[in-house]
Amino acid sequence: MNDDGVAGWADEIERVVEATRFDAGRVRVFESCGSTQDPARDLGVGSVVTTGLQTEGRGRLGRSWIDTEGRGIAVSLGLELVDPAVLSVAAGLAVLTVLRGVCRPEHAGRIGLKFPNDVVDRESGRKFAGILVEADPSVAILGIGINVRTPSRPVASPAIAIDELVAEDRTPERLPLLLELLRQIDRLLDLRIDELRFRYEREHIPTGREVRIESNGARYEGRLESLDPFGVLLLRESGTGRVREFAASQVRLERW
């Protein structure tokens, strides 16, 4: 396979998703599009939408996820309505597994998770991938953006591409990563909540570190004692040593 464009991607994706919860008849591959989220929503449950270039991709909190050089993966999946946290956690673990599978063994431990929707570099905090869940009355759209190859031009966002952690002669290609990602997401969505929780907590990099969080408009600093993505976050406040409990769904990690 080569990574010069998306020719032939649809056939490969259709072949792989036949053994998953996704619908081969709802696979769409675009040379270029604004955001993969919108056509995935139109196609509904079972859809898989990806593109060679994404010009108006969106991320969480109104941020953008744009790849106009064809160096990353942008994919949106139409899924049955479940707790958005389940989709975000499963997607994060799936991306983590896929990226570790192509990086050099000595770098595998650098890749981890940051609540609620990022796959990040343990050393620098820069982002390998981001996840967005948008729920409509009849379908949940799971969007995933992965930085595969380093952009040729500097970008303003604090990002890192997985090609920085692979051997020099093993530049990663997008399609094999995408196919494995679909397999992993399908597999992980079959796990019980307690298993997803265990795996996520084990890979959450900020746990045990000094952090600043925002919850309901107020900010707090201290040591992150624990984080259950489906439950509560425990923070030992700086200065007082008091352990405070926050609903994870109402917390944003601003600094770690």
DSSP 166-201: S-TT-PPPHHHHHHHHHHHHHHHTTS-HHHHHHHHH
pLDDT at position 167: 79
- 117 within 8 A of 131, measured Cβ to Cβ: yes
Could you tell me the pTM of the whole model? Answer: 0.92
pLDDT at position 194: 97
% the chain with pLDDT above 90: 83
Question: How many angstroms from the chain centroid is the CA of residue 161?
Answer: 13
The DSSP-derived string for 186-242 is HHHTTS-HHHHHHHHHHHBTTTTSEEEEEETTEEEEEEEEEE-TTSEEEEEETTT--
Please provide the distance, in angstroms rounded to a whole number, between the alpha carbons at the two ends of the chain. 39
SS3 percent helix, strand, coil of the chain, rounded to 5, is: 30, 35, 35
pLDDT at position 202: 97
Give me the phi and psi of 170, to 5 degrees please.
Answer: -125, 55
User: Which has the minimum average pLDDT: 32-36, 67-71, 89-93?
Assistant: 67-71
Name the band, by pLDDT with cuts 50, 70 and 90, for residue 4. Answer: low
pLDDT for 256 beyond 60:
yes
Q: Is the peptide bond before 154 cis (omega within 30 degrees of 0)?
A: no
Q: Give the max Cα distance, the chain.
A: 59
**pLDDT, mean of residues 84-109:** 96
pLDDT for 156 beyond 70:
no
Name the band, by pLDDT with cuts 50, 70 and 90, for residue 107. Answer: very high
Name the band, by pLDDT with cuts 50, 70 and 90, for residue 1. Answer: very low
> Tens of pLDDT along 213-253?
999 999 999 999 999 999 999 999 999 999 999 999 999 99
Rounded CA-CA distance 18/243 in Å is 48
pLDDT at position 2: 47
Considering the chain, what is the average pLDDT of its residues?
Answer: 92
> Tens of pLDDT along 116-130?
999 999 999 999 999
> Tens of pLDDT along 173-182?
999 999 999 9
Name the band, by pLDDT with cuts 50, 70 and 90, for residue 58. Answer: low
Domains of the chain: 9-201 (3.30.930.10), 206-255 (2.30.30.520)
- 95 closest CA partner among 123, 67, 120: 120
Q: Which residues pair with 133 in a beta bridge?
A: 142
pLDDT at position 153: 61
